[in-house]
Every structure is written in C-alpha cells, then in structure tokens.
Structure 1
Amino acid sequence: MNHSPSQRLFAIDLLRGLVIVLMALDHTRDFFAPTPFNPLDLQLGSPAWFWTRWITHLCAPIFVLLAGMSAYLRSKRRSKLEMTRYLLGRGALLVLLELTWVSFSWQFGFNVLILQVIWAIGMAMMVLGLLIWLPLPLIALVAAALILPHNLLDAWHGKDASWPMMAWHQGGYRQLWPGLGVVFAYPLMPWVGLIAAGYSLGPVLAWEPARRQRFLLSAATALLFAFVLLRSGNFYGDPHSWQARLGQGSGLALELMAFVDVHKYPPSLLYLCITLGLGLAALALIERWVQHPLRVLMLFGSRPMFFYLVHIALIHALAWVYMQWRFGGQVLEHQGWQAPPGYQPSLLVCYLAWFLVLLLMAVLTRLWVRQTRHWRG
C-alpha cells in the first residue's frame, strides 16, 4: 500500500468523514426520535438507546483534535503571521456562524443562542492563533495544563456561577433579556486544550508511516489504559463515579455501559481519554489497512464545514414535516415534555431518517463541490 503524504491526509479525511456521519446520527435522533428520558439513563432507556447516543461521543473530541493537527499541516506551508491571521479570521467566522445560522437552524428562530462545537472550535482556533508563536513543547504544556487538571474546577460549579465560569468551564444557561438567552453547551477550557494538543501532535504526521502508526497505537493504548485505571477506582477525572454492580444482579453488558458512561458537558478527562484513545487507534488503523473506503465518507470528510452548516437545518425541516404528517404536531422540549397524541420515540424511525439525511447530504455536497469547481474554473 502507498504510504505517501496523500495517504496520511486520506486517513484524516476518512476519519473526519466517519465522525461526521456519526454526528448526523445524533442530530437525527434529536429531531426524529426525541425522548422524555436521557438515552444514557440505564434505568429508563435500553442498550440500543444507550449505544446510539454513546457512539456519538466520539465526534467532537476527534473533530477538534483533527482540527489542531490540520492547522499544524497548514502551518508548514505558511508563515506564522499568515497562520495567525488565518486562525483568527477563521475562528471569528465560526463563532459568528454559531451565533447566527447554526443557532437559527436548531430552532428556526432566535430564542436561544446555542454555543456548541462550532463556537468551541472557533474560539480555540483564535487562541491557537496566538499560541503558535510559542515553541511546540510549550504549546503541548499549555494543552496539558488545560486538559489534565480541569476537573478540579467541578467543585466550583453552582447555580450562581458567573458568566466567565460558565463560558470557560461549567456551561449552563443565562438569560440575556426577555425572549433571548444563551446556552454555553461547550465550555472552552478543555476544547482549547484539545486543539492545542492536536497542533502539538502535528509533527507526528511527518514521520515515516510505520513509526507514526506505532506511536498513534501506543498513545491510544496509554489513553485507554489510563481510562480503565482511573475509572475503576474512581480516582480522578469524572464528576460521576462508577460503582460495580455485578454482584447485584447486573449483567456484564449493563456493567460495561455504566463503566463508559462518562461526563460530556463539559468533557471530563475520562471522556477525553476513552474517545481520543479510540480516535487515535482508528486513525492509525485506517492509514494501515483501509485502501478502498466508501467515497461518501471521503466526500463528507473533505467538506466538513459545508456538511455541518447544512445538515442541522435539513434534519430540522424534514423532522418538522414528518412530525406534522405522522402526529399532527411537534414534540416540545423547552417547557417540559409535551408530545403530540400517539407519539412514541422510535429508533427505527431514527435510523431510517439518518439514512435519508446522509443520502440527501451526499447529493447536496457533490453539487456544492461541482459548483465550487465551476467558480474556480
């Protein structure tokens, strides 16, 4: 197999495409199969609901890490000043899009400004635009300082948290004025650290392929081992402790689900350990073994921003039509659970809708690629 730089970039795009597809599953579930319970709640849900939600935990950490690695690759072709301008400008654009089009797509209105992964990546890019002037070991040190100890701030969380605390670590909702609020769904501290970590890993991408793959697999193993060690004794790294229940009649499958049910908002250290461990392993194995991937994954992975900006509004619109046709009304979640008569959440509906969304997005993305080539030509 040819292990050229194009093969290295191929692996990044393929992994990015895979997590984008999983992200679409999560958002399809949000609109086509909303539940009055948390899908991760083992008391109210089921293994199918659990894993449908849990597998999408992989998306944001891998996406942000790859953003940092891609920034490093871009920096090898540009001066530091050019990179700073690019990262500041790109980051500001992403934050603006999150505040406007993306927030609108979630609601088809502006009742709430929803600051999620695009806001986190945008803000992290702007910080990275300043960090790149530091030596690479110092950037790695900043990443570690933001990621490793951030769960120490969990004890400071509270209902009366300040705006900076919400935006930086706790997350939460604040009303700006009557009729408009803001949700800090992705507080910045760990995500800024993660994009800096991805940038710090960038030089690995220039290594000889076998060495690079060994390193990625070793790093993945270390992260997964750290996860098991810290989680098994509840030593550190997640605000929700795990308690073994095998002796209480719990099966091994349920025990596994309880073991990996870690905190995402904000992402705990253990959440990052398990998701990044799986992500780095996937990156190495894709480069080593995958020769003929699904073209649609490469298509999505090479146009991630177009996919993200289009797919939420598309899913929302399709779900509105489906709910009106099937039940005569929407499922409302903002002021308590209120479902139209006859509504029952269905994973079958969720997966069928997901397939339809991916099919439509493949068509739209190909049309976008053709149009952009026409403009450039």
Structure 2
Amino acid sequence: MSTIPTLKRIDSIDVLRGIVMVIMALDHVRDFVHDQAYTGDPLNVLTTTPVLYFTRWITHLCAPTFVFLSGLSIYLQSIRKSKAELSSFLFKRGIWLIFVELVLISLAITFNPFYNLIVLQVIWAIGISMILLSFLSRLPYKVVLAIGLVIVLGHNALDFWEAEPGFKAGFWWDLFHHGLFAVYPIVGDHYLAIIYPFVPWTGLMILGYCFGVFFTAKFTSAQRQKILTRIGLFLLAFFVALRAINVYGDPHPWTTQANGFATFLSFMNVNKYPPSLAYMSVMIGIAILALAFLENIKNQVTNVFRVFGRTAFFYYILHFYLAHSITAVLFFYRGHSLDDAMKALQKIPFFFQIPGEGYSLEIVYLIWILLIAGLYPLCKWYDSYKTAHKEKWWLSYL
C-alpha cells in the first residue's frame, strides 16, 4: 500500500467519538442507580417499557463505534509513522490498556480494593486488539482487510456449534468468542469476568483500520461524504435483510410478538455479547451515516462533543469513578451503613448497590446530565493541557 498524505485532523471523528462517550455514560449511570438495574433485562420485550428499551438500545451504539473509530485512528497514525514505529506503539499501548482495565476500571466498577472481581470489558478488547494489530499492520492492506472481513462476517458460524446439545463453553472459548459475563476463578475468592470476548471486536477494529483510507487526502470532503452515506445505507439495508432472513448473523432470532411494535422491538434486539454480525451492521451503519452527517457541521454543540471525543480515555476512566461515587453517596443517603454494603456483596459484586433499590428512569437521566456537566470542565482542561504539551510522549497513551 502506498503512503497517502493525510489531511489535517478531521473534527467529525472526534465529535462522533464524543457523542458516543456521552451516550455511554447514560447506560453506566443506569447500571449504578436505576431501581431495575439488577432485576430485569431492559431489552426483554415481555417486561420492558419503550423508554427503558430505547434507553438501553441506543447505548449499544457506543462500544462498536468506539472500537471502529479506534481502528480508524490507527490507520491515520500509520501514515505519520513507519510500520516499525506503529507496531511498537500499538503493542505498548495495548499492554497499557489491558493494565488499565484490570487495575483502574475493575476498581471503578466494583469499588472493591481487594479486587475480588476483575472485569474484561471494552478497554481490554481494544487493548488486545491493538496488540494483534501491531502485527497485522505490517501486512499488505488487502490482506488485513480480508482478515477483518472473515472475522466479522464469519464468527457467527460458531453459533451453530454452540447450539449443539451438550455444548459447554470453556475459558478459552469464552475469551475468544462467547463471553456473556462468564466468571472464572483466579485464586481463592478472586474471579475474572469475561464480558467482551475479543475476537469479534478485533475484527471490527481491523475493519475500522481499513476504513481509515477514506479519511486521507486521497478523498475530498465531498467525495468522502458521498462514500460514507452509501456505505452507511448499505450496512443498514444489509442489517434489515440479514435480520429478516433470521437464519444467520445473530444467535437469538427475532420472534413475532403480540403486536407490531413489540415485534419490531424483538427484531431490533440484536446480540452485543459477543457482538453479532447483525449488531455490528446496524450500529456501524448508524455510526458511518453520522460521520457523513457531521462532516461539515461545526457549532457550539459539536465543539462540546469534540472536547469529549478528544479526551475519550480520560473521560472514560473518570466517569466510572464519578458515577460510582454518586452511587455511594446515594446509598448512604438512603440510610444504609457500610455493613449493609458488605452484606450486599453476597448478591452482586459491586459495592453500594442492592438489587431492587435505586431510582426511577427520570432520576437516572437527571444524574446523567449532571455527570456530563461536571465532566465537561475537567475534559476541557485536559484537552487544553494536551494541546499545549504535545512534546510529552506519554500523553499519546492517554
């Protein structure tokens, strides 16, 4: 692949990343403070409400978009770096991200300083994917693209194997493909929870990497906007056709419900753990259309999202600690003691949460808005700091 001169930084990427980071916080606030967070599935057509369903569904956009944009950003870095430099950077940053997941994010989610539960979420998936891409990026572009397509288009073939009578997923199967909140003992009373099996996410990052070619100087803004619109619409049409066939692309077929709206909800309820082909098609289709829409839009609103997008990793870590701190304050406000928190750990492995306790969805939205408002000045400061200190090499890892 020949080197193509890069454009100046494209704001639409940062804006979209910022939008999904803000939406993501809504889901995590709901997990922490909603009174139904641990008593039911918000996507269960038989028990949910339309508002609760779409509050959860819209946040499905976040992880795949974040992973996809991570791959896209890596491609743009590949233009500025040699293959050796890029490979070294990706390998080291991947190791760093996995460390952050195990140490900082696990603590933020559980507030358990003894680390009785360690989680493998999206940061782990991005980290291991970067490590793998540090090797794959040395290969020809078409080979990398083919690998990404094979993974994304083909990984759901494993669903048929899983559906066989007597099938049992083991540790490596869960780590590579299945996941679904699988918990494995580490030592003593310490456990590992696999939430994001990495292979399908790696495939998505690879496709994001290959997609980055459209954001080089080879394409004008108008050309890119047209291409992105066509690809986004194609992915949505592909999703509808794939989901309508109801044979492949998602381990959970949709079913006809009591009315048309409920059937629509069943149709749209695609599998995130692991991310199915149907799930990735609809979410990335929406994300690519958003990139096309945001191409030439710049105003005060997009400037706010741009700040969040430029400080996404900083924001991600901070928002977990802040959201869980709010949860702790509300826990004691409701009259609970530290002893109550310890007893609650027997039901769920997260401090200061009791199944069935919490607040309405309206309060969830209010806390979410206040959380975002509180994070903005911190992210604004950090963005200014990064801009003023570009010579500091360690900032590239944050």
- Relative to the length of structure 1, the TM-score reads 0.92
1:309 partnered with 2:317:
yes
- Cα 1:344–1:283, aligned 2, differ >3 Å: closer, same or farther? same
Task: Tell me the distance in 1 between the aligned counterparts of 2:79 and 2:253.
Answer: 43
1:108 partnered with 2:75:
no
Task: Tell me the distance in 1 between the aligned counterparts of 2:154 and 2:20.
Answer: 27
**C-alpha deviation, 1:339, in angstroms:** 7.5
**C-alpha deviation, 1:70, in angstroms:** 0.4
**C-alpha deviation, 1:214, in angstroms:** 1.3
Q: Is the 8 A contact 1:170 1:187 kept in 2?
A: yes
Helix, strand or coil at the partner of 1:15: helix
**C-alpha deviation, 1:151, in angstroms:** 0.9
Q: Is the 8 A contact 2:246 2:253 kept in 1?
A: yes
1:224 partnered with 2:227:
no
Q: Choose which of 249, 264, 274 in structure 2 pairs with 1:237.
A: 249
Task: Tell me the distance in 2 between the aligned counterparts of 1:139 and 1:129.
Answer: 12
Q: Which residue of 2 aligns with 1:122?
A: 127
Q: Is the 8 A contact 2:39 2:356 kept in 1?
A: no
1:97 partnered with 2:93:
no
Q: Which residue of 2 aligns with 1:31?
A: 32
Q: Is the 8 A contact 1:213 1:288 kept in 2?
A: no
**C-alpha deviation, 1:374, in angstroms:** 6.6
- Cα 1:154–1:332, aligned 2, differ >3 Å: closer, same or farther? farther
- Stretches of structure 2 lacking an aligned partner (at least 5 in a row): 1-5, 392-398
Helix, strand or coil at the partner of 2:177: helix
Task: Tell me the distance in 1 between the aligned counterparts of 2:356 and 2:138.
Answer: 59
Superimposed CA distance per residue, residues 258-313 of structure 1 (whole angstroms, 9 cap, x where no aligned partner): 11101100011100010001000000011044555343211110011100111101
- Cα 1:19–1:349, aligned 2, differ >3 Å: closer, same or farther? same
Q: Which residue of 2 aligns with 1:354?
A: 368
- Cα 1:219–1:316, aligned 2, differ >3 Å: closer, same or farther? same
Q: Which residue of 2 aligns with 1:78?
A: 81
Task: Tell me the distance in 1 between the aligned counterparts of 2:232 and 2:187.
Answer: 45
| Equivalent position amino acid for 1:167 in 2 | L
Task: Tell me the distance in 2 between the aligned counterparts of 1:19 and 1:334.
Answer: 33
Task: Tell me the distance in 2 between the aligned counterparts of 1:275 and 1:307.
Answer: 22
Task: Tell me the distance in 1 between the aligned counterparts of 2:241 and 2:346.
Answer: 39
Q: Is the 8 A contact 2:73 2:209 kept in 1?
A: yes
Q: Choose which of 114, 136, 147 in structure 1 pairs with 2:152.
A: 147
Helix, strand or coil at the partner of 2:334: helix
Q: Which residue of 2 aligns with 1:174?
A: 184
1:271 partnered with 2:283:
no
Q: Choose which of 170, 187, 210 in structure 2 pairs with 1:200.
A: 210
Helix, strand or coil at the partner of 1:242: coil
**C-alpha deviation, 1:155, in angstroms:** 3.4
Q: Is the 8 A contact 1:35 1:345 kept in 2?
A: no
- Cα 1:123–1:326, aligned 2, differ >3 Å: closer, same or farther? same
Superposition CA RMSD, Å: 2.4
Count of residue pairs brought into register by the alignment: 369
Q: Which residue of 2 aligns with 1:15?
A: 16
- Relative to the length of structure 2, the TM-score reads 0.87
1:367 partnered with 2:381:
yes
Task: Tell me the distance in 2 between the aligned counterparts of 1:155 and 1:305.
Answer: 36
**C-alpha deviation, 1:133, in angstroms:** 1.0
**C-alpha deviation, 1:359, in angstroms:** 1.1
Q: Is the 8 A contact 1:93 1:122 kept in 2?
A: yes
Superimposed CA distance per residue, residues 183-232 of structure 1 (whole angstroms, 9 cap, x where no aligned partner): 11000111111111011111111211121111111111111111111111
Task: Tell me the distance in 2 between the aligned counterparts of 1:71 and 1:319.
Answer: 36
Q: Is the 8 A contact 1:327 1:341 kept in 2?
A: no
**C-alpha deviation, 1:178, in angstroms:** 2.2
**C-alpha deviation, 1:321, in angstroms:** 0.3
Helix, strand or coil at the partner of 2:119: strand
Task: Tell me the distance in 2 between the aligned counterparts of 1:220 and 1:191.
Answer: 19
- Cα 1:344–1:184, aligned 2, differ >3 Å: closer, same or farther? closer
Q: Is the 8 A contact 1:169 1:188 kept in 2?
A: yes
Q: Is the 8 A contact 2:39 2:355 kept in 1?
A: no
Task: Tell me the distance in 2 between the aligned counterparts of 1:148 and 1:66.
Answer: 19
